[in-house]
Chain A
């Protein structure tokens, strides 16, 4: 079945540091890939997405590139801010199926 694997957390960084959060997937067919973010006390919200190989999703300074050859969708940001502290979830959806498969999520804490 479909699955998403995220790197173990939590991750703690200083403000303006470079961020990479790893995500790899296993899926039948060609999935669409997503990163969702959950700020403290809130529900998840879409951060970015990519729907085919080599697509790059970007939003709020975050980027992720759909790598079919390595089945990966790593999230990066060049300079994190304290306000980026949150839980980040990688997810996929295959075909026209509306069901999302989520990774376990990783907590990011950014120190001033």
Chain B
């Protein structure tokens, strides 16, 4: 399997612009997670989906952030408008099943810089 695929790997944009991050989970996985990693706050869970349905979005920082999962093989995280404090590495992860023991598989991340 190709693993979790994220695009773009790097994104540089100017404040106020819209940013869209993309994720393709591992085929057959029914959970998808979006995380943000910064030096100050560490690794934060933003939102996760089960069978394409958002389950917990309590980590989404504000209304500027939105996430969708239109089908089992694709998800987007959108920031509109972007701000310099959104600069971070954004990770997508996927897993299969429930029970508490499942491994989450992470993508390589998208490094976002907002100028």
- Which residue of A93, A96, A97, A105 is within 8 Å of B43 (Cβ)? A105
A-B contact number at CB 8 A: 55
Given contacts A43-B4, A44-B91, A104-B42, contact A98 B102 (CB under 8 A): yes
Contact assessment for B100 and A32 in the assembled complex, using a CB-CB cutoff below 8 Å? yes
A94 sits at the interface (CB 8 A): yes
Cα–Cα distance between A36 and B104 once the two chains are bound (Å): 10
| Minimal Cβ-Cβ distance residue in A for B95 | A98
A20 sits at the interface (CB 8 A): no
In the complex, chain A residues whose CB is within 8 Å of the CB of B98? 96, 98
Q: Please encode chain B, from 61 to 93, with 1 for each CB lying within 8 Å of some chain A CB and 0 for all others.
A: 000000000000000000000000000000101
Given contacts A43-B108, A99-B45, contact A32 B91 (CB under 8 A): no
- Which residue of A42, A49, A100 is within 8 Å of B45 (Cβ)? A100
| A109 shortest CB reach to chain B, Å | 16
What is the interface size of chain A, counting residues whose CB is below 8 A from a CB of the partner?
23
In the complex, chain B residues whose CB is within 8 Å of the CB of A31? 100
A112 sits at the interface (CB 8 A): no
| Minimal Cβ-Cβ distance residue in B for A103 | B42
Q: Please encode chain A, from 75 to 112, with 1 for each CB lying within 8 Å of some chain B CB and 0 for all others.
A: 00000000000000100011111111011110000000
Query: Could you list 24 examples of A-B contacts with CB < 8 Å?
Result: A31-B100, A32-B100, A42-B109, A43-B91, A43-B106, A44-B43, A44-B106, A45-B105, A45-B106, A46-B103, A46-B104, A49-B101, A49-B103, A51-B101, A94-B100, A96-B100, A98-B31, A98-B50, A98-B55, A99-B45, A99-B56, A100-B104, A102-B42, A102-B43
